[in-house]
Structure 1
């Protein structure tokens, strides 16, 4: 592998925070809001949608699976393409694919057409993560990366809040037979508006350097420095230039970065199994334990989203203060204990879910940060794509496992979710002993 000596990456890390960085992060970070909006709004309108299209329970559940299948395909395909052809072009393509798939779902008149649209939307959103997360890690100054990545991850809960309120409004305002269509139209239009913002987002200089396109990278860095009114004088460093295939990239991940990949995969597994496990466990099992109506379930979910948002933003701030290793280890352990709050029957479930979400939903704001920043730029997007596949596959089977076990005794369901958290805790504990603390360090030093 060849190396290029340049000071561009260090100049990026030395820059102060500017309005450009804010616009950049907002334009790309909106992906997390859209993903949460998609998950929650679909859950809220799936029942009337299934009724009008005369779908069986199995077909309705397959629509959810179709979205996850699409996300898996998109994560792998667009993750590799983002490393091969750049982040910027994928910013637009994946968002258009998601927007189109979501909007067209509103016109569905059959199971087959709805399934196709859900797969397309899933592929777009799955591809979003690989390109977006890579670009943010590669552009944001090292000393701000933890809080920025953590904040973006926490915005998942904002998307959940918006979706919950939107669903309640639509179902109260329109007839159910039309409300579900409006929900999809709304999701598609919101995503389309973001496309215009992304037209002004530059390519990742680190990716350009890895492709030996130094002049283009220099031009972008100079523009950012001009907007910041500051040109730092820094030392040069060696940046690897990767010219291999997808098989070469896979080999590097599974050999040179083998144990880092195992750690990252366990993070993706823990985040998705615990999330999808609990949001399925709540309406199907806990609602019977606490005698909750449909509206009360929506209220509990809303409280959880608020708790997750507050907790996630708190952890995002602490990322660059306390460091990833102590924070991730502590939160995964506390989350494992917090699941057992649901054994308390005399407490308002909204309070229980708020407290649980405040702790557990904040874990992603540290876990996703460290799980994606420990790889070099030339394979980062592809690795994130693979990790997304692992997470979504895990998230797909978690609800069935949790509900099946809980059907014998709801307390067994709680223990199952706690066991998912145990995986994350053990992994973070091992990483704390063996791995690097990445707080405030440039990407090149970490990987």
Structure 2
């Protein structure tokens, strides 16, 4: 009865408020990632860093993100989504502020690791929480819209870099990055615990109280709950998820598909976008002009999200993700072969459009592939494995640049990865649009 009443709730102020609250966390995460990308060329010049050292600044954060995603996902399936979400936001906010106080290269690496740990933990937990509250017929759209806050965060980072770094130095970017710590109070006021999480842990009365509260807020006729639980609620797996569950039938194929897709998309994204300002700068544009060009490319991310949000509930998660990955590969190939400012901007904008649209879909798709008992765990491990690709890519690009390899070779590598993971999703993926989370996973659990 509880889950039926949750699914029957009309879309209203609660869902949109939850979208904004979780979306702000996404925005702050993105802002931090964007800031380090914009700070990197300035920091490299100020500290006289080699390309390999600069690559490590990007990669160390991804090491933290991998560990954060895995540990936070595991803990969130045990102590709750809301609590872990709050803790990870505090960690990355405080650590970002410490980056402004870094006194040498080594101290910056330590602080960037802690920032990454918080970021990596927050993202899959936020996506899991949103997916467990969004109505099934609009769940894909809500999660892609949640991911669209990432594009807004990059725009904020680009504006900070463009307006403040040239005048106040790179430290100002990290000082501003401490602001999200205040946002935790907003989380505590406006974000309830996941009803599905509470049911899976036998906390039935708490789940009922949240439903009654939401029905009052959304002006739905409310009535007492029946004493009997519905079959779906009785069959909810109890707490005690393990990593081994991800590799049992029928989740094995899903886990392989998600891990490979995450690895490829994270490898390509961080390899390209962490170095994007430096790559544009290397083409002969001044630092200020570089920020302008990257800002234009970043603006293209937002329509990419909205296009994916529209398609994901029409042609499905699997088709949209595979298509956007394929087109990301084509655009990145031509971006690497751009021989003029106009072609650099056109292909860079198109690459941003499809790449970030694909990100929106994969965050929708991942939590849907697992039942409540292992949803955050499965999402965290997929994102964590993907971060290994993010660790490798910035360092690899730095090494390739140090070997004097040209842009066309580097971007041919990224294009090939995009095409490969597009095929993997198409072959191994399972469609999940327009279904409740229980319909996607529960029949499978019985097999």
| Structure 1 length-normalised TM | 0.89
Check if 1:240 corresponds to 2:240: no
Cα deviation 1:80-120 (Å, max 9, x = unaligned): 11111111211211111111111222222244443332222
In structure 2, the residue matched to 1:106 is 100
**Which whole-Å CA distance do the structure 1 matches of 2:334 and 2:222 have between them?**
51
Q: Identify which range, 337-346 or 390-399, moves more after superposition.
A: 337-346
In structure 2, the residue matched to 1:318 is 311
Match of 1:198 among 187, 194, 198: 187
Three-state SS of the structure 1 residue aligned to 2:312 is helix
**Which whole-Å CA distance do the structure 1 matches of 2:11 and 2:100 have between them?**
41
Aligned-CA RMSD value: 2.5
Shift of 1:71: 1.6
Given that 1:283 and 1:297 are in contact with CA atoms closer than 8 Å, whether structure 2 keeps it comes out as yes
**Which whole-Å CA distance do the structure 1 matches of 2:122 and 2:210 have between them?**
22
Check if 1:411 corresponds to 2:412: no
Check if 1:166 corresponds to 2:160: yes
Three-state SS of the structure 2 residue aligned to 1:375 is coil
Structure 2 gap ranges (5+): 442-447
Given that 1:286 and 1:410 are in contact with CA atoms closer than 8 Å, whether structure 2 keeps it comes out as no
Match of 1:341 among 321, 331, 334: 334
Match of 1:154 among 136, 148, 154: 148
Given that 2:41 and 2:277 are in contact with CA atoms closer than 8 Å, whether structure 1 keeps it comes out as no
Shift of 1:443: 0.5
**Which whole-Å CA distance do the structure 2 matches of 1:161 and 1:27 have between them?**
19
Check if 1:351 corresponds to 2:339: no
**Which whole-Å CA distance do the structure 2 matches of 1:88 and 1:270 have between them?**
29
Given that 1:405 and 1:413 are in contact with CA atoms closer than 8 Å, whether structure 2 keeps it comes out as yes
Shift of 1:61: 4.1
Cα deviation 1:174-203 (Å, max 9, x = unaligned): 2x2xxx2221111111x1232111012111
Q: How many residues align?
A: 429
Shift of 1:307: 0.6
In structure 1, the residue matched to 2:419 is 422
Check if 1:363 corresponds to 2:322: no
Check if 1:301 corresponds to 2:301: no
**Which whole-Å CA distance do the structure 2 matches of 1:68 and 1:280 have between them?**
11
In structure 2, the residue matched to 1:33 is 27
**Which whole-Å CA distance do the structure 2 matches of 1:285 and 1:182 have between them?**
23
**Which whole-Å CA distance do the structure 2 matches of 1:344 and 1:173 have between them?**
31
Residue 357 to residue 31, structure 1, CA distance change in 2 (3 Å): same
Given that 1:96 and 1:195 are in contact with CA atoms closer than 8 Å, whether structure 2 keeps it comes out as yes
Given that 2:55 and 2:395 are in contact with CA atoms closer than 8 Å, whether structure 1 keeps it comes out as no
Three-state SS of the structure 1 residue aligned to 2:236 is strand
In structure 2, the residue matched to 1:388 is 383
**Which whole-Å CA distance do the structure 1 matches of 2:331 and 2:372 have between them?**
36
**Which whole-Å CA distance do the structure 2 matches of 1:311 and 1:229 have between them?**
34
Three-state SS of the structure 2 residue aligned to 1:240 is coil
**Which whole-Å CA distance do the structure 2 matches of 1:243 and 1:417 have between them?**
40
Given that 1:98 and 1:125 are in contact with CA atoms closer than 8 Å, whether structure 2 keeps it comes out as yes
Match of 1:73 among 67, 78, 103: 67
Given that 2:51 and 2:399 are in contact with CA atoms closer than 8 Å, whether structure 1 keeps it comes out as no
Three-state SS of the structure 2 residue aligned to 1:84 is helix
Residue 91 to residue 49, structure 1, CA distance change in 2 (3 Å): same
In structure 2, the residue matched to 1:3 is none
In structure 2, the residue matched to 1:250 is 243
**Which whole-Å CA distance do the structure 2 matches of 1:76 and 1:315 have between them?**
27
**Which whole-Å CA distance do the structure 1 matches of 2:394 and 2:323 have between them?**
25
Three-state SS of the structure 1 residue aligned to 2:178 is helix
Residue 330 to residue 108, structure 1, CA distance change in 2 (3 Å): closer
Shift of 1:286: 6.0
Q: Identify which range, 205-214 or 15-24, moves more after superposition.
A: 15-24
Cα deviation 1:14-33 (Å, max 9, x = unaligned): 21111111111111122321
**Which whole-Å CA distance do the structure 2 matches of 1:412 and 1:49 have between them?**
26
Three-state SS of the structure 2 residue aligned to 1:199 is helix
Cα deviation 1:386-410 (Å, max 9, x = unaligned): 1121111101212343565574343
**Which whole-Å CA distance do the structure 2 matches of 1:282 and 1:50 have between them?**
14
